[in-house]
């Protein structure tokens, strides 16, 4: 029988430029979450390394099978008998890097992995400029991963702005959605909460997103505010900007309840987009 309740935790971090220090911080926080009763623990995007200098980034990352943070969190999952969602790590992928998430089962085995689809190529009003596509490869598949409580839709950070991805995951069975992040402070202050509540409400799903928070060694400042949101859009748990752990009890039955009350997934209909030109101004003859 599938369990209907579990405790989810988000680990908030302030990862720096030393992958081994970041690994140790992640392990300690995941263990802390497990000690507080968490059955599912998620870490943020770029758990093992936050480094904006491209050459330094390439120098510090390697292939998946040698990644020290992934290896350590697999051991913690096995040791504590919990599900660990490694929000993402930088993984060497040819002449670029994959921004890759992993779901790890209670036996320490990798259940699924997901490469971030949407890359953050933007120029912000405060002068910040980001070109993830110069360094990272974009994924080309949406991923549903099975957990003991139902299906998890795996996404990462900037993906949260693309509503169609979350609808597709929910339509294909996801009860839980996630966007572990390294959100900039400026964009987070503007949109972090509304985007998460919107994705939860639109799909009738839980949103579980661990985040990076604070001023990092490479100079960037991230928003923090790891969130757990229920299918009705209510915030169940929220962090501030400091590293730490938040927890919430997840009642899986709330997914069916929300989708039953407002069945947007069932009520959607196909449509076409039609562009209608404006009529000619009054008194002006139509063109020949």
CA 73 to CA 110: how far, in whole Å? 10
Q: What is the DSSP letter of 178?
A: E
Q: Are 218 and 53 in contact (CB under 8 A)?
A: yes
The catalytic residues are 45, 116, 157
- How distant is the alpha carbon of residue 20 from its chain centre? 22
- How distant is the alpha carbon of residue 83 from its chain centre? 16
CA 247 to CA 140: how far, in whole Å? 31
Q: How is the chain split among helix, strand and coil, in percent rounded to 5?
A: 30, 30, 40
User: What residues does 178 pair with on adjacent strands?
Assistant: 154
Closest CA to 201 of 248, 265, 142: 265
**Both tokens of residue 95?**
């002449």
CA 173 to CA 265: how far, in whole Å? 11
**Both tokens of residue 55?**
């050459």
CA 233 to CA 195: how far, in whole Å? 10
* CB atoms inside a 10 Å sphere around CB 105: 20
* CB atoms inside a 10 Å sphere around CB 240: 13
Closest CA to 246 of 225, 275, 265, 215: 225
């Amino acid at each position: 029988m599938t369990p209907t309740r579990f405790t989810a935790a988000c680990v908030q971090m302030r990862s720096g430029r030393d992958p081994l220090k970041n690994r140790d911080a992640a392990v300690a926080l995941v263990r802390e979450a497990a000690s507080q009763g968490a059955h599912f623990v998620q870490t943020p995007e770029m758990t093992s390394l936050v480094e904006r200098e491209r050459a330094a980034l390439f120098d510090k990352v390697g292939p998946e099978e040698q990644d020290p943070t992934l290896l350590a969190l697999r051991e913690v999952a096995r040791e504590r008998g919990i599900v660990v969602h490694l929000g993402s790590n930088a993984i060497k992928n040819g002449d670029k890097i994959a921004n890759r998430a992993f779901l790890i089962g209670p036996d320490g085995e990798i259940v699924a992995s997901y490469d971030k689809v949407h890359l953050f190529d933007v120029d912000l009003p405060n002068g910040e400029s980001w070109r993830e596509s110069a360094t990272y490869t974009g994924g080309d598949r949406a991923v549903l991963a099975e957990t003991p409580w139902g299906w998890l839709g795996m996404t990462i950070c900037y993906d949260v702005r693309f509503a169609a991805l979350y609808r597709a995951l929910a339509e294909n069975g996801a009860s839980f959605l996630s966007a572990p992040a390294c959100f900039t402070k400026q964009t987070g202050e503007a949109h972090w909460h509304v985007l998460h509540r919107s994705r939860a409400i639109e799909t009738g799903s839980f949103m579980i997103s661990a985040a990076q928070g604070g001023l990092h060694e490479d100079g960037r400042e991230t928003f923090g505010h790891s969130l757990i949101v229920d299918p009705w859009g209510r915030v169940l748990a929220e962090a501030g900007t400091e590293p730490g752990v938040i927890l919430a009890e997840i009642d899986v039955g709330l997914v069916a309840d929300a989708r039953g009350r407002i069945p947007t997934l069932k009520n959607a209909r196909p449509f076409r987009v039609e562009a209608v030109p404006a009529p000619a101004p009054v008194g002006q003859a139509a063109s020949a």
